[in-house]
Amino acid sequence: MMDGLAIKGFHAGYPKRKIISNLNVPLLPRGKITVLLGPNGCGKSTLLRSIAGLNQAQGELWLNGTELLSQPFARRAEKVVYLPQSLPAGVHLHVLESIIVAQRASGARGSATSEGEVMALLERLGIAHLALSYLDQLSGGQKQLVGLAQSLIRRPELLLLDEPLSALDLNYQFHVMDLVRRETSKRNIVTVVVVHDINIALRHGQHVLMLQNGGLIADGLPEEVITPESLAKVYGVRGRIERCSQGTPQVLIDGLVSEPVS
């Protein structure tokens, strides 16, 4: 049985416009974070939405040996959880209530969620103090963290996070990526995260997909995929990968490929 997510001959987009064309990815591993990189408009969000069943798609999606595209949406939603960039307007529910409702409404596997389990998850996310706050009174960053809690409580086999750091400050960006990495390993699930910050991919990612114009440019370990050559080809920048004093690789941008080198 294939242990992870395999994508074969995958086409996705909209009725009058295809975004993803004949995408093939051998295997996205369980227990590790796969970071999805690429310039604006390359198809990152479309790919996540299509895997979740929210966009039209053709081809094959194999999750732990089960083909997803042939399954009804409700059945797929039992295994796949998608957290969008922009969350819907907050309803007048307490944070605690909203997470319990999300688990029960989703038909998530396993036993019913207790209040203690929800509070433990909120504690790990650093937002336990918001448990009795109303969703419609939270900041954008706080709503993103609650959305992540609602996603994790559903116990997915495949977790799709579309720019989950966009409204978070530096402290919470690090905290959330560290938490997602630990939860992914602990639950042995497939997690795919869209980010724009390549240094976050280098620090927190364990596998990277790089897209351009709806096609796959590179697939593999972060330091194998994120290279001066791929940065020039995909982003049009002259960049270097260097290690900081603690040994962590980071990208330094020197200019645009169209500019003369000084």
Domain spans, the chain = 1-79+156-222, 90-154
Q: What is the largest CA-CA distance in the chain?
A: 63
In the CATH scheme, what is the code of domain 1-79+156-222?
A: 3.40.50.300
**Three-state DSSP class for 73?**
helix
* Residue 239 to residue 47: CA distance in whole angstroms: 27
**Three-state DSSP class for 216?**
strand
Q: Are 33 and 204 in contact (CB under 8 A)?
A: yes
Each of the 262 residues of the chain gets a pLDDT tens digit; together they read 468 999 999 999 988 888 999 999 989 999 999 999 999 999 999 999 999 999 989 999 999 999 999 999 999 999 999 999 877 766 789 999 999 988 887 665 555 567 888 999 999 999 999 999 999 899 888 998 999 999 999 999 999 999 999 889 999 999 999 999 999 999 999 999 999 999 999 999 999 999 999 999 999 999 999 999 999 999 999 999 999 999 999 999 999 998 655 4
The pTM assigned to this predicted structure is: 0.93
